[in-house]
Structure 1
């Protein structure tokens, strides 16, 4: 495969974005690394990447202008990796509606804005790949993670629609669903935890935050391996060589186990309640 040009969001140190940049450059491809603070990603220039300031919560017009500048750097963009995200922690009563809105504005609407800005470029060329970083939380709503799980559930539904809308245009869509990987997602700069305002939630809230703090940088997944798999999928190399690339791919042993259990539970429910579920047509 010839050299590809990648645009990656959320490339601040310690996240998947940093590993994506390293893996992409190692394959001989070109990459435009982006972050809210360009100062945090200046080191990528020495490695051979181009860098741009990009806040996916900016206006659609501002993001369109940034994408236009990105296209000018190498003349085209072949792959968009939607990686920018953060996690809000708190129960329904502890998080304010504004906290849910902020979570969705980054994880859902920010992703929507940058993807919409690039779609005309891909559509005109009848080529391009949109990679979306979903989550195990797009399958399961863990307690205390309702805002994050809601954003990932919403994103997955939207991305599946995009897949069906654009496949015939030569545009590839990949939805990657990581489990627990050793990034800085649970660090103080990426996790926003709301203190509890409900006495009945105090014990649960403390246990949840203590557990997440203990898990930070002890997650089982290797983000470097994930980034290599994603590059393989796009380039049809390595683990993807000679295989049909799926639209949706969970990654991580915990993700495999939990998704399998969710599927088995759903199939059992469908079988146990089949007469009720299928008995709702007009007589």
Structure 2
């Protein structure tokens, strides 16, 4: 029986490409997007390739998300691979984010995936098999200026994924965290800038926040990552076939892109240096 994939955020980018690649490989795919009408071309391409398309907004209440996942599960009688890909990035100084902006960022990037996971797990646990793929970001390891809330949402998703991997391993369920760097999708074009900008009196003008926001603007369309190759590697890491297949079952995290690999390496080196520097202090506090 073909593997059944449930992929969120399939209106563009990784979600769309992974849906089409999985269908091409002979899998069954249920892809979701917030609005099928607005994403009519993407929906048609998935359906023409044999996939199913459902509407799902990750800011919906928990019960609504659970019902839609259960409805999707009923189509083929199971969900083998859950891919939490939907999400967005909010940019701005941490000081100036509004309550509404903070809630929407965390709801979309953390609570939405949490609720899809909760809905898909009973079936996976009953079958003693399944894979949960949570698409994080290099920002889930290394938070830049302007990315405070986005990084917070992805750090949280990675923490959730770490715990989840330890909770469900005995049920034959695996977890994979995908950490992309810069890929030539519409991700940067779709980034949301905080409504208060750089402050009432431009307090953050000329600061690292301002410079980093400008960097993202200039980087759009110049990313080095090939999204089709990324989709191929994710598919391989899940199925054990093709490029990426060699890491199946061996890793919790899958960084994608040399930029992501380099940034995460530097972050790990810094954490290691902090540990070495604080070892005597840290170990001096036991009773």
TM-score w.r.t. length of structure 2:
0.92
Give 1:206 deviation, angstroms. Answer: 4.5
* 1:37 aligned residue: 35
Shift of the alpha carbon at 1:248?
1.2
Q: Over residues 220-268 of structure 1, what are the superposed CA-to-partner deviations in whole Å (9 max), with x where a residue is unaligned?
A: 1111111111111111112344555311121110111111111112222
Equivalent residue, structure 1, for 2:217: 213
In 2, Cα distance between the equivalents of 1:242 and 1:233? 7
* TM-score, structure 1 as length reference: 0.93
Q: Could you tell me which residue of structure 1 aligns to residue 3 of structure 2? A: 4
CA deviation after TM superposition for structure 1 residue 269, in Å:
2.0
Q: Which deviations, in whole Å up to 9, do the C-alpha atoms of 1:169-227 show, x marking residues without a partner?
A: 0111111111111111111xx31102121532023355333321211121111111111
**Which residue of 80, 89, 92 corresponds with 2:91?**
89
- 1:252 paired residue number: 257
Q: How many residues align?
A: 278
Distance 1:262 1:241 in 2: 26
- For residues 12 and 42 of structure 1, the distance between their equivalents in structure 2, rounded to whole angstroms, comes to 7
* CA–CA distance in structure 1, aligned partners of residues 115 and 174 of structure 2: 18
Q: Paired residue for 2:273?
A: 268
Moved more, 197-206 or 266-275: 197-206
Query: 2: distance between equivalents of 1:269 and 1:53?
Result: 45
Aligned ranges 1:46-195 → 2 under 5 Å? 46-187=48-189, 190-194=190-194, 195=197
Task: Provide the C-alpha distance between the structure 1 equivalents of 2:268 and 2:67, rounded to a whole number of angstroms.
Answer: 42
Shift of 1:54: 0.8
RMSD over aligned Cα atoms: 1.5
Contact 1:60–1:117 under 8 Å retained in 2: no
Report the more deviating stretch, 124-133 or 198-207. 198-207
* Separation in structure 2 between the aligned mates of residue 199 and residue 144 of structure 1, nearest angstrom: 15
2:19 to 5, 18, 21: 21
Q: Distance in 1 between matches of 2:191 and 2:246?
A: 39
Q: Which runs of 5+ in 2 are unaligned?
A: none
Give me the whole-angstrom Cα distance separating, in 2, the residues matched to 1:242 and 1:96: 44
Q: Which runs of 4+ in 1 moved over 6 A?
A: none
Deviates more, 1:218-227 or 1:81-90: 218-227
TM-superposed deviation, 1:98: 2.3
Indicate the residue corresponding to 1:234 in structure 2: 238
What secondary structure does 1:129 align onto?
A: strand
